[in-house]
């Protein structure tokens, strides 16, 4: 149809993605789970900064038929969980296997971990919860969530962990805890 504008699909962000966990991230998560230290925390956050994660989306009932109780409409939504203390966290998984262990019906949406962290911040969530069902659950909160969402790089310092600007600006450093 010559009068219609040409429509093109965008290329997938992760064209060769097999659904497996990033090897560096998996190793960092396992090391941290075996013995949490400042070094293992920095390794996990650094691996997350460069990793693809899967944010689950699930069907949420919209309008319900008053007579039958059946869904008339539904929407797809990202999943936020709430802790016993009332804090919310956005879920992310390192692989399709870890996602399926949590909910086999959830659909994976591949994004970078900084994009997932930014989505958590935008949803006023207090955390990004990685691999809720295992094999090694990890929760990113506070300044670490903000640093990851901002695309910064974690660096171990004498005072703890600092977040520095991207690779091209290694000299710039934020204060620990920022």
Residues of the chain with pLDDT > 90, as a percent, come to: 60
Q: Does residue 91 fall inside a structural domain?
A: yes
- pLDDT of 84 higher than 60: yes
Q: Average pLDDT, stretch 121-150?
A: 95
Q: Does residue 141 fall inside a structural domain?
A: yes
Q: Does residue 129 fall inside a structural domain?
A: yes
Query: What pLDDT, on a 0 to 100 scale, did the predictor assign at position 169?
Result: 34
Tell me which H or E stretch contains 140: strand 138-141
Q: Does residue 81 fall inside a structural domain?
A: yes
Q: Does residue 9 fall inside a structural domain?
A: no
Chain mean pLDDT for the chain: 85
Specify the higher pLDDT residue, 145 or 8: 145
- State which residues form the domain around 50: 23-169
Strand pairing class (80-82; 52-61): unpaired
Per-residue pLDDT tens digits for 20-47 = 999 999 999 999 999 988 889 999 999 9
Strand, coil or helix: what is 160? Answer: strand
| Residue 161: Cβ within 10 Å count | 18
Please state the domain count of the chain: 1
Structure tokens at 78: 């990202």
Sign of CA dihedral 77, 124, 122, 142: negative
What's the CA gap between 38 and 16, in Å, rounded?
A: 33
Q: Does residue 140 fall inside a structural domain?
A: yes
Q: Does residue 106 fall inside a structural domain?
A: yes
Q: Does residue 16 fall inside a structural domain?
A: no
Closest CA to 79 of 69, 67, 87, 90: 90
**Buried/exposed code over 58-93 (b: 16+ C-beta within 10 A; e: otherwise):** eeeeeeeeeeeeeeeeeeeebbbeeeeeeeebbbbb
Strand pairing class (160-164; 127-130): unpaired
Q: Average pLDDT, stretch 153-162?
A: 86
């Amino acid at each position: 149809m010559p009068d219609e504008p040409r429509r093109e699909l965008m290329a997938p962000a992760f064209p060769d993605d097999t659904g497996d966990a990033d090897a560096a991230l998996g190793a960092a998560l396992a090391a941290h789970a075996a013995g949490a230290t400042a070094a293992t925390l920095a390794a996990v956050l650094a691996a997350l900064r460069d990793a693809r994660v899967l944010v689950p989306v699930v069907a949420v009932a919209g309008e319900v038929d008053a007579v039958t109780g059946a869904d008339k409409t539904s929407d797809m939504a990202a999943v936020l969980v709430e802790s016993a203390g009332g804090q919310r966290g956005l879920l992310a998984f390192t692989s399709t296997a870890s996602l399926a262990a949590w909910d086999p019906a959830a659909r994976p949406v591949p994004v970078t971990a900084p994009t997932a962290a930014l989505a958590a911040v935008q949803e006023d969530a207090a955390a990004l919860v990685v691999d809720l069902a295992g094999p090694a659950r990890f929760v990113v909160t506070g300044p670490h969530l903000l640093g990851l969402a901002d695309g910064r790089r974690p660096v171990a310092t004498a005072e703890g962990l600092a977040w520095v600007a991207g690779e091209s600006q290694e000299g710039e450093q934020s204060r620990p805890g920022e």
